[in-house]
Structure 1
Amino acid sequence: MPTWLRPLNFFTAILLISLEINPLLTPSVSFSASNVAQTTTDRKAQAARLVQEGDRYYYQGQYQVALEKYQQALAIYQQIADRQQEGVILNNIGFVYTELGQSKQALPFYQQALVIFQELNDLPNQGAALNNIGLSYSYLGENSKSLKFLQQALEIFREVHDRAGEGKTLNIIGGVYRSLGQISEALKFYEQALAIRRELQDRSGEGFSLNNIAEVSSLMGEYPKALDLYQQAITIFKEVNDFTRQSIVLNNIGWIYDRLGQYKKSLDFYEKALVIARNIKNLSLESMALNNMGSAYNNLKDYTNARKSYQEALEITQELNDPSGEAKILSNLGSVDDQLRQYSQALDFYERSLAISRKINERPSEGITLNNLGRVYNSLGEYQKSLELYQQALGIAREVKDRVAEGRTLNNMGRTVLLTGNAAVAEKYLFETINIWESLRPGLTDENKISLLETQTNTYHNLEYALIVQQKSEAALEVTERGRARAFVELLAAKYSETPDPPIQPPNLEQIQQIAQEHEATLVEYSINDFGGQPKLYIWVVKPSGEILFRQLDIQSFAPSLENFVTSTRQSIGVRGRSSIEVVPLDDSEAKNQLKQLHKLLIEPIADLLPSDPNAHVIFMPQGELFLVPFPALQDANGKYLIEKHTILTAPAIQVLDLTQKQRVKVQQANPKGLVVVGNPTMPKVTIKIGEPPEQLNPLPAAENEAITIAKLLNTKALTGNQATKKAILSQLPQARIIHLATHGLLDDFKGLGVPGAIALAPSGNDNGLLTADEILDLKLNAELVVLSACDTGRGRITGDGVIGLSRSLITAGVPSIIVSLWSVPDAPTASLMTEFYRNWQEKKLDKAQALRQAMLTTMKNHPNPKDWAAFTLIGEAE
């Protein structure tokens, strides 16, 4: 279960963005000296050649060599008293130092250049020098001085009608306002600059402006827009061979994935950025990448590498005299100690960071550090001081329009107020937080929604707790549903709808009651809440009449190892995964004891609320590790299995039931006639682990017999061996009414798709035979039932959005009812159970849930171990 706050999720990503200072500038006069008319004197010609060489090395990213060439040229121009070219080269030397991240060294060169251009009354070059002085002050954290020089530069460029210079200055001014936290002002200047760059067909300038607008978009939580703009920017920078800006954009993209909770993916982008920074010997970019890597490591709880990366970054920022960067890294170092509960060290780092941020008037950094300090005092039990710091941080977050910082501050305030016992005020803060979280999701991909929701789950749990302690259990159920499988619900709604991006709201109480009534089922929703380190299990029961009842119990004795207890219960009956290693079951009495313990935890508190009719439907909505519980096998105190007393289904969320029911109606209207029954295809070769050679999966002869038997029951022909190719089956799936796949199910994310799982079919031509969960997502199926009679097909990556795997993909593809297995299923009892299921469903006309229940009851007579009959679960619709 997530804790109330993972500090690095909260703090570090926000800190990073301020380091990514406006990578947008090229001085107007940079390298223009290479076009200076040549004279007949050898000295002037020699200087001009040196300038051309310097230009070439600069554009190749060899800044130190370029610097040497420019300095040699400068000496010559000073000797021959060519003041114009002396000014140009002074400016260019300053710019190389800027590129190297050494703004303090750059500033005097720009200032010397400005004196010369004023002496010569050279307005265009005065504008360029003023521009670069303003940039240097911005990098040094002196924003008021920066704006003063930049405004002078802008006036000059407009006076001489220099549109390129005007565009550059507008971009820099936007960057200064961004640093000051004045986001609306920043965006206004960035957009003006972009329009000019496009008007002039200035590709590099366009890339700079796109990058900066993307940065503002990401700060405002508009992640899809930001990612699109960054991709446009990096395409341009690759096109023009600009390695410096490629590194910066890679950092920025990594930062977005950091905020989305995809820390390994963000680390990959940061590492690429670091390689480029070191290749071009840019210390400022190296520091930025190291800082960001530290944050990714911190979020991954690799504190050793996090501290190491931060320390390296800090040394560079101190060497460069970069107070802005130093403040952020100090705060990040504090967050490592904070996470490790070393609060005195954390406070020291945070206080040092806050002092610097206030000195240079960098409001976003100040707000983040105040928030970090608030967290420490919260951990120390000083709630009033904590709230005062949070209030200050909230004001800044709203001032700089940082939606994520605002949401996380409100979450922290809600949590703190809740700890003081004021649940009503906490409720207000936490509802505000959830409204912000939900505003960040539109436009994101399914994968990004899932990872973002993982970072936000604690808010829903905090609010759930606040409502429960106020005796608002029904309102708490609405909140639980609001945070349950939201990405899945939105994905289903989009796939099932005939209009793009249909509006989908979480169900209110009346709609939840209506769903129970329409399904004529008892709905059971679980939530594990560990607020305040006192874990509780909340259970809501919604009866077919619409009546809602609530029970809760303390699970302190279970919670520290609830996941382990579920796993050990599965192992106690001999359950194993796809591995060929057989799990030795415990003796019968011990296995039954563990099944009884889970029954006592999950069923006994609500047993009196469940229907007495064994044919009545009970639909369980588990959470987290409870998805792996074998509900049919749970035993009451008298040794009776749950499946003997109830007809069981499962679903990720109540709202999913509403959507699958609507899809069932569509499937019935489509009335597909096809039947696809597959068993024991010629197995593909699979790479189980990266770096190891592929292995052919073991054949499943019993699955072939199962398929042949079921095909006869359905009056069709089974596809087996070489007939069961991926290509052949894909062509038949859209027309199929029933799909039965008796083959291996694979859990691993074979192609790095982010959606784990694959079904093993026979390879042919160029395909490898693996029908992945990602490919299934893109299908449009009309089947009323898919049965995955295979190993572990009901499992997958468990997230706050439910189980991400094959079942999720099939439901999204349009199938309202799925039967999957929760473990590797023995051959003989599976064949018997599946045959019984189809006989009950097709011949006896039972609904799918009742048919599966009767098949389990029949199978257990000959195979009494739950391992042999309790693996399968029906997800979705019973009819």
Structure 2
Amino acid sequence: MEAGLAHGRRGGRLRSSHYIWCRDACLTLSLLVSLLLPGRSLPAAAAESGPASPLPAADGAASPEQLDAAAVAAFRLGTAAGWRQAITLWQALLQRLGPEADPSRLGLIHTLMGNAHSLLGEKPRAGERYRRALELHRAAGDRPGEAVVLSNLGQLASELGEMEQALELLEQSRSLHRQLQNRAGEATSLNNMAVVLEGMGERRRALALHRRVLAIRQQSADAAGEALSWNNIGAILDDLGDGAAARSAYGRSLELRRQRGDPLGEATVLSNLALLEKRLGRLAEAQALLERALVIQRQAGAPEGLAVSLANLAALHDDLGQPAQARALLEDSLAIRRRIGDRRGEAVLLSNLGLLQLQQGRPRQARSSFERALAIARDTAHPAAEAAALINRASLEETVGEFQAALESLRAAVAILRRIGDPLGEAVVSGNLGAVYESVGEGEQAELQLRRALAAYRELDSPSGIAVSRNNLGSLLNRRGRPEQALVPLRAAEAMHRASGDRDGLARALNNIGAAHVLAGRPEPARRAYRQALAIKRQLGDRRGEAVTLNNLGNLEAVGSTPRRGLEPLDAALALQRGVDDAEGMATTLLNRGRLHRRLGDHQAALSDLAESVRLIDGLRSRLADDDLRASFLASAHEHIDALIDLLMELHRLEPGAGHALRAYAVQEQSRARGLRDGLARQGDRPGREQRQRRRAIERELRALGPPSEVSAARRQALMDADLVLQQELHGLAGAAVPVPGSPVPSLEQARRLIERLRRELLQEGDVLLQYNLGPERSTLWVVDRDGLAVHALPPGPEISEQVQALRRSLLGLPDAALLSRLHALLIGPADLPADTRRLILVPDGALQVLPFAALEDPASGEPLLARFSLAHLPSVQAVLDRPASAPPDAGGDGRLPMLIVADPDLGAGRPHGELRAGPSRRNCSLAWQPLPGTGRELEAIAQVVSEADRVVARGAEATAARLLALDPARFPVLHFATHACVNARRPDFSGIVLAAERSPAGVADPAVDFLYLQEILDLELDSELVVLSACDTALGRQLEGEGPLSLSRAFMLAGARTVLSSLWSVDDRSTAALMAAFYRHWIDAGLPLDAALRQAQLELMRTPRWRAPYHWAAFHLHGRWR
């Protein structure tokens, strides 16, 4: 029912570099030209068609004065051709004057050439000219000229993203102007410093500087400058959400412009007033203001201003739900940018055009626009436009299901934004990262990123960003099943979007509010919200958003009293999604329509829809290069697989002999432990060791910080930020693409071949395999032995899970005998096991993966399952079938195994002994760890059955991570760890094995302990038959649907271990030592198979009075191959 709801959160992200609204900061260059040419009257800007009279050729016929005048005229054309002609003419003038000419005049020419190069996007060449000009002005002692060039260098640095350098250069310029008592120059430098601060997100500091500039200009009776300052003050006040103060400031600027007869300045203020009206939702007023600005700019022949106003009008028509007009206006603006040779402006507009194309459901054209924008931005050294194009391309990539590519684009963007000091852009990226992580099922990461974005927007006083973040957080809370909590930020976002006139944001908020009401069981408020959202989406021409809302409306009807009414909106949604290539949306709509067809009794239509839904989900999964992200994504979409399995089992009940149950088994097995299987397939090909080493250093420092009260917030935040960046790098490491399975619903013949292979390669006489699937409405048990396959229906998964968790709680004290019997009857009883069964091979699902099957009691005999059978656990059948066992190792010819034993690490002197092989808090690995005397006894017991020649031991102070890695664990068929373990379910990569810390030359270990972290375990590249994790909770971890716990046990399997002996809870030190001693005795001395040796050891403990309780003997189980 909820599948379609997740899509309501889409697009609530702030779109970077959308439409460019006019600001007066762009006037800095023309003001500088005026300063550099004292007493000269600059020609008015020529019409776009070109100059009225031909320019002189750059040859010996023209005088220096003619060349100078012609160059200025060419420059003022405002076109790329004019700027290039000006450069040619000024270069000729330099040659005519020669190096012995007045250095101030030469410096002026170099500065003007730098301006032209800058406008052409040739930033490095502009920098060369400015630096040469600076040398000449300083050589001439020309301090006014030096001040101007420093200001130009500052502006250039800001355009290149070097904000701190820009501020430093502008401050030098300001200081020189002040010394020269040049108040106008000082004001210009302060104005430009404010512009840089605004770009850095320091709006309030920028506002303070603009007010200083205003005071200087008012004292100097500089009406033009005062008008400029009022305009810039209004722009920042508008960004800060103070509409009334912004309107007042704009009004004062407009009054001054009109008094001075400055039509182009008037047009600039009108454009900014339009932005204010747009933000306040007064779209008709905004349109009228923009159209007035356009008339002025056309009459004045001002192509650059005209291009800006056309782009702003396009944004307005987009908000008015007129996408065709918006696109036409944007293309007109783009044509002007190209005609005047403004490639930087072209890059920005292409990015905007791509967003419009994406919204209109044209992803291929959008991709082309983004790629062209990216190429131009890089070619013209425009980092802000490059970052914007990357962010917008990531939105496209997420839309079409290319989640890995979206993460990589966002990572590239944030690197640029950090370099140029753009915190607002970083906030945009955090929000978008949160959306992508939500899409792939990484809820913790998503919430972390979204909360970072919200905090950043609040710090930056960005109302639009705050609204977007609240919307996204509400969506995430919906997905995590917390609708009442979700409604708090969603209603706040709705109010903010209404107040600002952001209709797109409003529609997204309404869609998510509808989803929350559905989850809370309130269909009528949900229907009202969805219908409002649908009307807005249709007005905006947002085909993808329309499809999302239609899907949600259809799903709402499908689960109501008149389900057939849901077909029409679901069909319409699917048609739109196919048109815009929205694979994730199609998968959700097909899931909802398949469920509806099943409810209506059309099983074949349901099977077709659900099969295609699973195929699409698997295709999206295969595009992710990171194993963990693939596993998280599949877990988040597991309801698609559950729905297909449940339908096949219903068909089995209707047609028992048709093979539907066999096909359901093949579907379930195909989806099991996909992350583990992907990782095993890529074994030996795990890139990123350098990043993981850096991660280890940061993890160690984070743990060494101690409690928050003992370290500065800034230091902790800096380390957490560095950790987050590295975590994103690790997720982005390139990996081999995983092929998409040929069919989401294996044919009957394919399913039969799988069962035949299972019987042939895994099962011996006396073996029975029990494979479980816990479904939301009903569960299934498949029983496979050497004779065939049987299938049994079980209660719903939530009901079974609740009983499992209750049993686990009881095992820590007196076990609940009734629960032990009830679960045996529920999970084992239906199998009706033959009398000659000796071994059970368990393939559990969900909560059953942490169930101690060995302790379940037969209701008839009262005996635990262990008394009759040996037990082995598999993550999936195919994970074992696809990795054959290696030849048995033989170190000395007598069948004994060479072992690496890491035990009894030195955890610090003078600490009390511990009784549990876990720390005080498994979520905080930085707390004190107690020594474990039982691990030493365990080592001594192993030594009695494994000769000294066949074992290598790292004990005490030598049991360090460095020593372990130096011994090369890949050389040993058997690894044994007897120590503490730290399991972090929220951050699995922070889990690890506790080891001794490296000591300083003085013999001091600081910190007291070290860890072999999960990522380092993955780097071990083992080829081991057995890894024994004689520690607490090593089979536990963050639970992923279909994958199982992200445990230390799983990490060792991914590293290459074929079998892992691990624990299901915090085990007792003494009983664990006894269990391990008995296990090795039965395995090595008696030569029993692994599962039989473990069974005998557990039976020994069970028969010992002090350790009779299952808590002592039932925690450990074998995972993987048992022979």
TM-score after normalising by structure 2: 0.70
Corresponding residue of 1:850 = 1092
State the Cα distance separating 1:447 from its structure 2 match: 2.7
**Cα shift readout 1:535-564 (whole Å, capped 9, x = no counterpart):** 3x3111232x4x5412213426xx554233
In structure 1, what is the Cα distance between the partners aligned to 2:791 and 2:183? 91
Superposed displacement of residue 311, structure 1: 1.4
Contact kept, 8 Å, 2:1083 with 2:1089, in 1: the verdict is: yes
Instruction: Note if 1:391 corresponds to 2:571.
Output: yes
Counterpart residue number, 1:747: 983
Secondary structure of 2:682's counterpart equals: helix
- Inter-partner Cα distance in structure 2 for 1:827 and 1:470: 51
Question: Per the alignment, in what secondary structure is the counterpart of residue 714 of structure 1?
Answer: coil
Change (3 A) 1:51 1:476: same
Question: Equivalent residue for 1:788?
Answer: 1029
Q: Which residue of 1 aligns with 2:899?
A: 675
Aligned to 2:974, what secondary structure does the other structure show?
strand
Give 2:780's aligned amino acid.
Y
Q: Sort the Cα spacing of 1:691 and 1:417 in 2 relative to 1 into closer, same or farther, 3 A.
A: closer
2:852 counterpart residue number? 630
1:278 aligns with 2:458: yes
State the 1:823 CA deviation: 2.9
AA paired with 1:832? A
Structure 1 counterpart of 2:590: 410
The verdict on how the C-alpha distance between 1:815 and 1:54 changes in structure 2, with shifts beyond 3 A counting, is closer
Question: CA–CA distance in 1 between the matches of 2:1061 and 2:1016?
Answer: 19
Residues 960 and 996 of structure 2 are in contact (CA less than 8 Å); yes or no, is this contact kept in structure 1? yes
Deviation at 1:124, TM superposition (A): 3.4
Cα gap change, 1:284 to 1:866, in 2 (>3 Å): closer
**1:580 — aligned with what?**
none
Which digits, 9 at most, give the CA deviation of each residue in 1:801-842, with x for residues without a partner?
112101100111111111112233344443333223222222
1:516 aligned partner, one-letter code:
R
Query: What is the correspondence of 1:29-68 to structure 2 with a 5 Å cutoff?
Result: 31-37=25-31, 38=34, 55=195, 58-59=198-199, 60-62=202-204, 65=233, 67=235
Find the aligned partners of 2:1070 and 2:341 in 1 and give their Cα distance: 85
Is 1:601 the counterpart of 2:826? The answer is yes
Superposed displacement of residue 435, structure 1? 1.0
The superposition leaves residues 429-459 of structure 1 with CA deviations (integer Å, 9 ceiling, x where unpaired) of 1111111111122334233223212221111
Are 1:526 and 2:771 an aligned pair? yes
Matches within 5 A, 1:117-266: 117-266=297-446
> What letter corresponds to residue 477 of structure 1 in structure 2?
Y
CA deviation digits over 1:329-372, x for unaligned, max 9? Answer: 11111111111001111111111211222223222221111111
Asked if 2 retains the 8 angstrom alpha-carbon contact of 1:364 and 1:400, the reply is yes
Report the Cα offset of residue 292 of structure 1.
0.9
Q: Measured at CA, do residues 515 and 702 of structure 1 come closer, stay the same or move farther in structure 2, by a change above 3 Å?
A: same
Please state if 1:772 is matched with 2:772. Answer: no
Q: Distance in 2 between matches of 1:141 and 1:755?
A: 46
Q: Which digits, 9 at most, give the CA deviation of each residue in 1:133-186, with x for residues without a partner?
A: 212322443322212211222222333333223323222222212222222222
AA of the residue aligned to 1:741: F
Counterpart CA distance in 2 for 1:503 and 1:690 is 34
Are the equivalent residues in 1 in contact too, given 2:13–2:432 (CA < 8 A)?
no
Match of 1:453 in 2: 634
Aligned partners of 2:22 and 2:271 also within 8 Å: no
Shift of 1:34: 2.0
Q: Which residue of 1 aligns with 2:760?
A: 517
Given the alignment of the two structures, is residue 5 of structure 1 paired with residue 13 of structure 2, yes or no? no
Which residue in 2 is equivalent to 1:642?
865
Normalising by structure 1, report the TM-score.
0.89
| Equivalent position to 1:469, from 650, 655, 669 | 650
Contact 2:4–2:589 under 8 Å retained in 1: no
Equivalent residues of 2:22, 2:268 under 8 A apart: no
Rounded Cα–Cα distance in structure 1 between residues aligned with 2:925 and 2:826: 45
Q: C-alpha distance in 2, partners of 1:27/1:625?
A: 55
Q: What CA distance in whole angstroms lies between the structure 2 residues aligned with 1:666 and 1:101?
A: 75
Does the C-alpha gap of structure 1 residues 670 and 323 become closer, same or farther in structure 2, counting only changes over 3 Å? farther
- Retained in 1: the 8 A contact 2:400–2:581? yes
Structure 1 residue 668, shift from structure 2 partner: 8.6
Deviates more, 1:204-213 or 1:699-708: 699-708
| Corresponding letter in the other structure for 1:489 | R
Alignment partner for residue 483 of structure 1, among 651, 671, 685?
671
Which SS does the other structure have where 2:1118 is aligned? strand
Q: 1:330 to 1:130 in 2, by over 3 A?
A: same
Amino acid at match of 2:789: L
* Equivalent AA in structure 1 for residue 864 of structure 2: Y
Cα distance in 1, alignment partners of residues 530 and 686 from structure 2: 52
Q: Which moved more, 1:334-343 or 1:351-360?
A: 351-360
**Secondary structure at the counterpart of residue 661 of structure 1:** coil
Whole-Å separation in 2 of the counterparts to 1:570 and 1:88: 70
Q: Distance in 2 between matches of 1:75 and 1:318?
A: 31
Question: What secondary structure, in the 3-state scheme, does the structure 1 residue paired with 2:988 have?
Answer: coil
CA–CA separation in structure 2 for the residues paired with 1:643 and 1:57 = 71
1:413–1:426 Cα contact (<8 Å) kept:
yes
Cα distance, 1:302–1:466 mapped onto 2, change above 3 Å:
closer
Q: C-alpha displacement at 1:18, in angstroms?
A: 5.5
Partner-residue secondary structure (3-state), 1:441: helix
Contact 1:182 1:400 in 2 (8 A): yes
RMSD across aligned C-alpha pairs, in angstroms? 3.4
**What CA distance in whole angstroms lies between the structure 2 residues aligned with 1:700 and 1:447?**
33
- The CA deviation at 1:94 is 5.3
Correspondence list, 1:345-360, <5 A: 345-360=525-540
Q: Percent identity?
A: 27
693 and 753 in structure 1: CA distance in 2 versus 1, 3 angstrom threshold: closer
Contact 1:220/1:402 (<8 A) preserved: yes
Bigger shift: 129-138 or 80-89?
80-89
Equivalences for residues 413-452 of structure 1 within 5 A: 413-442=593-622, 443-452=624-633
Give CA-to-partner distance per residue, 1:820-866, whole Å, 9 cap, x none. 12233344443333223222222222221222223333443334443
The SS at the match of 2:1022 is coil
Are residues 332 and 131 of structure 1, via their aligned partners in 2, closer, same or farther at CA, if it must alter by over 3 Å? same
Hey, what does 1:798 align to over in structure 2?
A: 1039
TM-superposed deviation, 1:396: 1.4
Q: CA deviation at 1:772?
A: 2.6
Check conservation: 1:50, 1:73, Cα contact below 8 A: no
Residues in 2 aligned to 1:303 and 1:224: alpha-carbon distance in whole angstroms? 29
The SS at the match of 1:233 is helix
Whole-angstrom CA distance in 2 between matches of 1:814 and 1:492 = 8
Task: For 2:1086 and 2:197, locate their aligned partners in 1 and report how far apart those are by CA, in whole Å.
Answer: 82
1:397: how far off?
1.4
Q: Deviations over 1:188-229 (max 9, x none)?
A: 222222222222121111111111111100101101100110
Q: Answer yes or no: is the 8 Å Cα contact 1:747–1:758 preserved in 2.
A: yes
2:736 maps to what in 1? 501
Letter matched to residue 143 of structure 1: P
- Written as runs of structure 1 = structure 2, the 5 A alignment for 1:552-571 is 552-555=792-795, 560-571=798-809
> 2:930 is paired with a residue of what secondary structure?
coil
Q: Is the 8 A contact 1:54 1:70 kept in 2?
A: no
Q: In the alignment, is the contact (CA less than 8 A) between 2:1079 and 2:1097 conserved in 1?
A: yes
**Structure-2 change in CA distance of 1:196 and 1:96 (3 Å):** farther
Please identify the structure whose Cα radius of gyration is greater: 2
Secondary structure of 2:643's match?
helix
Counterpart in 1 of 2:884? 661
**Secondary structure of the structure 1 residue equivalent to 2:455:** helix
Alpha-carbon distance, 1:49 to partner: 8.2
Correspondences of 1:105-116 after superposition (within 5 Å): 107-116=287-296
Q: Tell whether 2:937 aligns with 1:705.
A: yes
Question: What is the aligned counterpart of 2:958 among 723, 730, 734?
Answer: 723
Partners of 1:660 and 1:876 within 8 A in 2: no
